[in-house]
A and B are shown apart, each in its own frame.
Chain A
Amino acid sequence: NAGVTQTPKFRILKIGQSMTLQCAQDMNHNYMYWYRQDPGMGLKLIYYSVGAGITDKGEVPNGYNVSRSTTEDFPLRLELAAPSQTSVYFCASTQGMEQNQPQHFGDGTRLSIL
Chain B
Amino acid sequence: GQNIDQPTEMTATEGAIVQINCTYQTSGFNGLFWYQQHAGEAPTFLSYNVLDGLEEKGRFSSFLSRSKGYSYLLLKELQMKDSASYLCAVDPFTGGGNKLTFGTGTQLKVEL
Contacts and interface: CB of A to CB of B under 8 A. Distances in A.
Does B bind A?
yes
B18 to A, nearest CB: 20
A31 B97 contact: yes
Instruction: Tell me the interface secondary structure of chain B in the complex.
Output: loop
Given A90-B42, A99-B91, A45 B48 contact: no
Interface string B2-13: 001000100000
B100 A99 contact: no
A105 B99 contact: no
Interface string A19-56: 00000000000010101000011111100101000001
A94 B99 CA distance: 10
Categorize the interface residue count of chain B.
20 to 34
B72 interface: no
Interface stretch (B62-70, B76-84, B102-110): B102-110
Contact of B103 (A42, A90, A107): A42
